[in-house]
Amino acid sequence: MWANYDMREINLDSTREIEAVRTFLAAFDLTFDGAVDYTVAFYQNDEIIATGSLAGEVLRNIAVSPQLQGEGLTANVVSHLIQQAGQRGIYHYFIYTKPSAAPMFTALGFKEVARTEPHAVLLESGLGSIDDYCQEIAKKAAQLPIGARAALVVNCNPFTLGHKAVISRAVSENKGVVVLVVSEDKSLFPFDVRFQLVQQGLAEYSNVLVLPAGKYIVSSATFPSYFTKGEATVKAQTRLDAVIFARYIAPALGISRRYVGDEPYCATTCGYNEALAEVLPQHGVELKIMPRIMTGGEAISASRVRELIRQEDWSAIKELVPETTYQYLVSPEAQPVIARIKASHSRH
């Protein structure tokens, strides 16, 4: 039925072409946010009958006209996106989809990583897997003392005394602590800077291991922006991420506790804490929610530090961050980041 078709690369700078894809995807409750590297559309009689996009390792926005589903067109879209990924040196792929669509992708060789009913399923294929990732981090965690271990997942944009206080609490209550720094580079402070500041700020603790969180924790794969809508988005993303941590990462690291700071302001982070509270105990992992550290009547937060950077209030900043973070902020090396923060109104 679809043998007579045209396959076209979508011009991501063309409002008209993007709008056509966006309209097509809307019928599948998918959104097109433009944060992709490549998009293809299959046309029949100048109408879109299928589409898919590539964003890093993630194959996303894959949709086929209902009347053509089951005809092999999905396989063509996926195969084409994998070819495009290979041309970019990418040989590992994720697909995040609804549970009802998962069998279609497992039939194409994708392996299910985790699911959360009725919201979402994460699948992967290609070189590397979550099992390989878990083996890698388990080897690194072997250096920690034997005994109770805790984990924290942090962004630290930048690393503050608030972050350090929660981690210090974990250090005092456990034999070993693993701090996983979100690797996704979508913050005003680049990942390499955030990672360095966390390492330096925790250097005094001999029982702390700082690791990149990698692609399986709070990443484009587990927290896609294009999937589902409204409250369903938060539930799908946070619960799937929590399941992956509980089922794979906690056992690999020998984790029995996870620490988080309370979050009264950000709905997504609050939803994430709720998901962790629901999922982790089911897998034998205790969740400990720490109250925010206050100073001058305000909670210490990275967003507060960034706002003070915009105001150039360095004396106030010095009260909110470890000395290692402060020395970085006033160094020549930090100037490009400082300029980016001053030019941005982003919360991240």
Instruction: Read off the CATH number of the domain in which 106 is found.
Output: 3.40.630.30
Task: Tell whether the torsion through CA atoms of 318, 321, 322 and 324 is positive or negative.
Answer: negative
Any domain includes 304: no
Any domain includes 139: yes
pLDDT tens, 5-31? 899 999 999 999 999 999 999 999 888
Any domain includes 310: no
| 28 and 94 fall within a common domain | yes
Mean pLDDT of the chain: 92
pLDDT at 3: 64
Structure tokens that stand for 114 in this block: 């985790």
What is the CATH classification number for the domain harbouring 223? 3.40.50.620
Q: How many domains does the chain have?
A: 2
Any domain includes 229: yes
| 71 and 145 fall within a common domain | no
| 111 and 20 fall within a common domain | yes
| 167 and 96 fall within a common domain | no
* pTM for this prediction: 0.92
Closest CA to 42 of 27, 20, 13: 20
- Structural domain ending residue among the three candidates 109, 128, 147: 128
Q: Domain range spanning residue 184?
A: 132-293
Q: Rounded CA gap, 35 and 232, in Å?
A: 20
pLDDT tens, 62-81? 999 999 888 889 999 999 99
Any domain includes 302: no
Any domain includes 308: no
- The string of DSSP letters for 168-185 reads HHHHHH-SEEEEEE----
Any domain includes 337: no
Separation of first and last alpha carbons in the chain: 47
| 39 and 27 fall within a common domain | yes
Any domain includes 19: yes
Give CA separation, 253 vs 156, 166, 246, 288, 335, in Å.
21, 19, 11, 17, 37
Helix (H, G, I), strand (E, B) or coil at 251: helix
CB neighbours of 273 closer than 8 A, spacing ≥ 6? 260, 262, 263, 287, 289
pLDDT over 80 (residue 267)? no
